[in-house]
Structure 1
Amino acid sequence: MKRQGHEETKEGNTMRARQLRTWRSAWMVLALAGLGGCAVGPEYVRPAVDVPAAYKEASAEASWQPAAAQGERAAGAWWTHFGDARLDELIEQVAVNNQNVQAAAASYRQALASLETSRAARWPSVDAALASSRGVAAGSGNVPAGAARSTKSVALTASWEADLWGRIGRNVESAEALAAAGAADLQGALLSARALLVQNYLQLRIVDAQRRLYERSVAEYRRALEITRNRYEAGVAGRSDVVQAEAQLRTTEAQSLELTLQRARLEHAIAALLGKPPAGFSLAEETALPQPPMIPPGLPSQLLERRPDIAAAERRMAAANARIGVAQAAYFPALTIAGTLGYQNDRFAQLLTAPHRFWSLGPTLALALFDGGVRSAATAGALAAYDRQVAEYRQSVLEAFREVEDALVTLRLLAKEAEVQQQALAAAQELVRLGNNQYLAGTVSYLHVATAQTAALAAERSSLEIHERRLQAGVALLKAIGGDWQIPVVARAGAD
């Protein structure tokens, strides 16, 4: 009896010694994993791009000066430089109701969720299982071979992958960069939606001005037609003068209707940008005409920080660089530490008792010895994806500089064109005045008057079109420089 107790004590000591060695091995592996971890793959450095010292079209001749202060503006409220209160009200609805902006916001939230998934890989995973099975026993102990046996078990299983080579860290780095790119995409979608709204709104205001011009012209042509008919009935003018006057009136009326159609389409486009059905949206006509602001373009180097599309391209480039490390980490063994603690018995009644407890704990080091070239192909693909992102980033920078230069030269030359057009308009209006006097004096036919009036109408409409082009070029420049130039530029962490 004493000998049996001594053997049981010896067996228990042996089991405890084995458990102690297992725990020591596990803690040694954990210590090595914490001390020896390193991230494979290249560290990210933003590639250099050719940034000019100044814009080519931002010459001294343009005399760019900031617009006069118009009260407090919200940060980034670049549209307020056009000085239109109704436009300011519409812009506020874009961030809430525009569906393209909402789609970009959803994509950003999706990127944040992917980031949290990547970060979760740094922590152990713990699973619980409750199982019940019945099968034929092979025969052992008191259970004869071929007898049916039930097995009940409950267990907790935990596993953790040591990030020895930085695979998990590079995945997190890539997800963080993609989340930042998603944030930049959201800002880009908001900037584009606002710019498109401003463009449509300003064009609608110009169309309103053109409609007022044509309404005034139609009224003048009606009076001219009455005068011509009276002169014809008095035998002073010929039938051709009446026909000419009537043709001029009907042509102008048709052009006025075309402007009405154009305004309706612009109103529908604005409604869609605001996320509203066109049937329930309308804009009242306003006589005030927005003026193009004078916009200093700033330094070319600031463009890399202001433009959302450049920021998004740069962050995607950083994500592609991190994925190179993920691909290269597959060449090294993966260390996983797993442990299980549970109970197993043939009945639930005595399941959670010490004699039926079982546990296991130990590391697993796994390395793929042959994969048919999968890892090398994945690495080559990651390198190619990075090269593509670099090319797209540099192209984004080039396109940004081109858009700024285009807007600058357009604004500079249109300002001169507007001055010349005003001179042409003044001359055309003077020609109308002289033609009317000559017609009433009977020295010229109505054709001379109609020609002068047509030229004056065309000159005034051209003046409005040039004004619209200046407004649109101002919007294009504000969009090209990434919004309001008065916002200070703050460099992003990790961008270099």
Structure 2
Amino acid sequence: MQAWASTAICLAASGLASCNLDWEKPELSTVPPERFLEARPKSALPIPAGSDFARKFGSKELAELTARALDDNLAIAGAMARIDQADARARIASSALWPSVGLGAAALRAQTPGTVLSETPNYNPSQAILQGAGQQKAAELAENLASFSAVRNNFFALGLNASYEIDFWGKNQDASNAARLLANASRFDRDVIEIATMAAVMNAYFLVLAAQDQLRIAHEHVRIAEQVLGAFTARLEKGAATMLDYGQQAAVLAGQKATIPPLEQTLRQTKVALAVLLGQTPETLEIKGGSMKALRYPRLDPGLPSEVLLRRPDVAEAEARLASQEFSVLRARAAFFPSVTLNGQYGLQSIVLRNLLRPEAIAWELGSNLAQPLFDGFALQGQYELEKARFAEAAAFYKQRILSAIGDTESALIAEKETAKSVKIGEEAVAASKIALDAARAQLLEGKIDVITLSTVQTTYFQYDFSLTQARLAHLNAAVSLYQALGGGWSPTTRNAEIARANAAYEANKGPWP
């Protein structure tokens, strides 16, 4: 029937517009791989969400910070407000599915000029008589008393007005479906922001621990350098060392002290950033911190690529927006077809207020309107083409999200493996360089090596110690990246719960009239 109507419309508009209602959807199929390159192909359960995942690191403070972020983060609060906006838009877009009923009342008093009702003035001889003039005077007064008589009327009305568009082609239903799917997408977007916030809080906390670890290392190396410098000072006083030896060691000490201010800056600025993530001012946040060495590394199983796609709220959001846009295309297509509107009116009307409530004052009216666009300067065709192009964009974005989900997981798995190797190698390097430093200090006192050799060994130990801290931080960041790539604990169960909440919000009574 739609094809017949489309043909009829095109024939009616022949010579005025060209109709092109064909639509070839872009290819949407993106088959995920059977396995990840960096993991064994096996199914796995979703990882814990939010603060439950943070507890796996073994830090009570980190778990408390992530829980506070869920409650107080302003980006999450903004996303929740956008959910309310999307729910309201869904209600507005769905209003055309219902009849429009309104109560109206009117009271009108109008005067119609006599100059509109008659071409010549009216003369009433009785006017002259009433003014005390006799019959003989009436003729003399006729010309002066002639006037146009105005008419005054009253009108009172009270009644109901109703209208309803019959949704033959599903145009209004398509608009409702599109808006309701966007309400689902807004909830998935909130979940994306929530996961990103959790990741940001964990990474910021790890950076605090890394800065604290590096400050301890810096202070320890300053202490070692001061001890060596003290030994050189004693030897210099005895003539067993030169100013070159003293100056060289003093430069090493100064260089190690210079590393402390940037670390203090990083520590304090990261605490400020963490406070903002928690939705509070920096002076109100107290972070004890600790050491990365005290943390446990959580084990994460990626599962299969197809499972990951079902656990990513950003993929679900892109899918919901794509489905919404498809209904927008259908709505734009339905706009080419005729629309039928039913109108009704029932109420009371009278020119005298006291008669308004009498049975004889009842007035009613029923009717219908049929509207068929014939030529509108190609506006409908342009809107239809616009919606199709938007669908193509949404389809490309949806496929990009799928590829990004798989790519993010692969990259996180690579980072997890390689950073673990870096930590192991770094620990071995620090242990070896510590042995070398102890040996160099003993040999220097025995006069077997010069200060330049000792300085080189000290610097190497310091660099390896710092590099190990950076490797530990990168390893923890890799765990957070994998947590985020695997959906942050999101699952098909979460998806169904979000859709159920959206449906409940749509069905809820949000106004005085159901």
Q: TM-score scaled by structure 2? A: 0.81
Indicate the residue corresponding to 2:281 in structure 1: 277
Indicate the residue corresponding to 2:414 in structure 1: 409
Indicate the residue corresponding to 1:37 in structure 2: none
Q: Is contact 2:49-2:488 (8 Å) kept? A: no
Indicate the residue corresponding to 2:145 in structure 1: none
Indicate the residue corresponding to 2:314 in structure 1: 309
* CA-CA distance at 1:462 after TM superposition: 0.8
Uncovered stretches (5+) of structure 2, i.e. residues with no partner: 1-20, 119-147, 501-514
1:41 and 1:200 mapped to 2: Cα distance?
A: 52
1:402 and 1:442 mapped to 2: Cα distance?
A: 57
Structure 2 counterpart of 1:113, from 83, 88, 98: 88
- Which AA in structure 2 matches 1:223? Q
2:180 and 2:214 mapped to 1: Cα distance?
A: 51
Q: Is contact 2:415-2:478 (8 Å) kept? A: yes
Indicate the residue corresponding to 1:26 in structure 2: none
User: Is 1:102 matched with 2:106?
Assistant: no
User: Is 1:434 matched with 2:415?
Assistant: no
Q: Secondary structure at the match of 2:105?
A: strand
- Which AA in structure 1 matches 2:164? W
1:102 and 1:285 mapped to 2: Cα distance?
A: 27
Alpha-carbon displacement from aligned partner over 1:414-454 (angstroms, at most 9, x marks no partner): 22222222222222111111111110101112221121111
Larger Rg: 2
Indicate the residue corresponding to 2:30 in structure 1: 49
Q: Which moved more, 1:77-86 or 1:389-398?
A: 77-86
Q: Is contact 1:114-1:175 (8 Å) kept? A: yes
* CA-CA distance at 1:95 after TM superposition: 2.1
User: Is 1:450 matched with 2:455?
Assistant: yes
* CA-CA distance at 1:76 after TM superposition: 7.6
Root-mean-square deviation (Å): 2.8
Q: Secondary structure at the match of 1:77?
A: helix
2:289 and 2:375 mapped to 1: Cα distance?
A: 74
User: Is 1:335 matched with 2:340?
Assistant: yes
Q: Secondary structure at the match of 1:121?
A: helix
Q: Is contact 2:161-2:345 (8 Å) kept? A: yes
Alpha-carbon spacing, 1:41–1:319, altered in 2? closer, same or farther (3 Å):
farther
Q: Secondary structure at the match of 2:259?
A: helix
* CA-CA distance at 1:79 after TM superposition: 2.2
* CA-CA distance at 1:139 after TM superposition: 7.0
Uncovered stretches (5+) of structure 1, i.e. residues with no partner: 1-39
1:102-141 maps to which residues of 2 (within 5 A)?
A: 102-137=77-112
Paired residues, number:
445
Q: Is contact 1:77-1:484 (8 Å) kept? A: no
Q: Secondary structure at the match of 1:152?
A: strand
1:313-392 maps to which residues of 2 (within 5 A)?
A: 313-392=318-397
Q: Is contact 2:49-2:489 (8 Å) kept? A: no
Alpha-carbon spacing, 1:267–1:174, altered in 2? closer, same or farther (3 Å):
same
User: Is 1:205 matched with 2:180?
Assistant: no
In percent, how many aligned pairs have the same letter?
28
1:262 and 1:433 mapped to 2: Cα distance?
A: 31
Alpha-carbon spacing, 1:417–1:426, altered in 2? closer, same or farther (3 Å):
same
Q: Which moved more, 1:279-288 or 1:354-363?
A: 279-288
Q: Is contact 2:186-2:317 (8 Å) kept? A: yes
User: Is 1:466 matched with 2:471?
Assistant: yes
Structure 2 counterpart of 1:169, from 158, 170, 173: 173
Alpha-carbon spacing, 1:223–1:238, altered in 2? closer, same or farther (3 Å):
same
2:37 and 2:370 mapped to 1: Cα distance?
A: 60
* CA-CA distance at 1:488 after TM superposition: 6.8
Indicate the residue corresponding to 2:487 in structure 1: 482
User: Is 1:78 matched with 2:53?
Assistant: yes
Q: Is contact 1:46-1:314 (8 Å) kept? A: no
Q: TM-score scaled by structure 1? A: 0.84
Indicate the residue corresponding to 1:58 in structure 2: 39
Q: Which moved more, 1:178-187 or 1:148-157?
A: 148-157
- Which AA in structure 2 matches 1:366? A
Q: Is contact 1:111-1:178 (8 Å) kept? A: yes
- Which AA in structure 1 matches 2:249? A
